[in-house]
Amino acid sequence: MKKYDYIAFDLDGTLSDPEHGLVEGFIYAFKKMGVKDYGTRESLRRFIGPSLYVVWQDEFGFTPETVIDAIEKFREYYNIYGWWDNKVYPGIVEMLSSLRAKGKKLILATSKPEDTAKKIMSLFELDKYFDFIGGAAGDNRDHKWEVLEYSMRSVGADPERTILVGDRMYDAEGAAKCGVDSLGVLWGHGTPEEIAASGFTLTAKAPSEVVELLG
């Protein structure tokens, strides 16, 4: 099996489950923006992972200007109450520790704003396992492929020796655009059907399986 020196990780739905805090923030933003038909709490899980700038324009017809306002409303809630309303998936710490012990360089590539990602990684003491923590920066660096490219460039990662681990189709698409392999995890927010259809190079049912595949 191909060996990887650099392992890039998504955050939401891959390392931690942010569902409750994020969904509360989505609802807060929609109410503030006067969106009445935003669906159920369960249906709002589909917004965990992708760039809100893109999906909210597609879903609700926001203009580029109004989607920025909607995201600001979301952050009014999330930046105070939502970011810590989160939990690390079982087995993640053991997975990261094992990969580091095997000499792997770990980088984060998340569509979440970089400053928020750093706070979450520090809160759960996951940052100590990572060589670099990369996140979104608004219009400048928003799509997954842009964040992944930035994170890889920051540590000098060779695309041929890099793999991205994530839980949504956007992770597979971003990895493909950057010319790197991808591993889809089945414990996150992507359905098994989404993972199967997204073109991931590998899949894993549990964090321990990630170590078996990539260690």
Structure token digits, residue 18: 């942010």
DSSP state of 81: I
**DSSP structural state of residue 12:** B
CA atoms within 13 A on the CB side of 98: 14
With tokens 């890889």, the residue in question is 152
- Count how many residues are written for the chain: 215
From first to last of the 215 residues of the chain, give the pLDDT tens digit.
789 999 999 999 999 999 999 999 999 999 999 998 998 998 998 898 777 888 899 889 899 999 999 999 999 999 999 999 999 999 999 999 999 999 999 999 998 889 999 999 999 999 999 999 999 987 678 889 999 999 999 999 999 999 999 999 999 999 999 999 999 999 999 999 999 999 999 999 999 999 999 98
Domains of the chain: 6-17+86-214 (3.40.50.1000), 19-82 (1.10.150.240)
End-to-end CA gap in the chain: 11
Rounded to an integer, what distance in angstroms lies between the CA atom of residue 5 and that of residue 87? Answer: 28
Catalytic member of 10, 17, 171, 181: 10
115 is annotated as an active-site residue: no
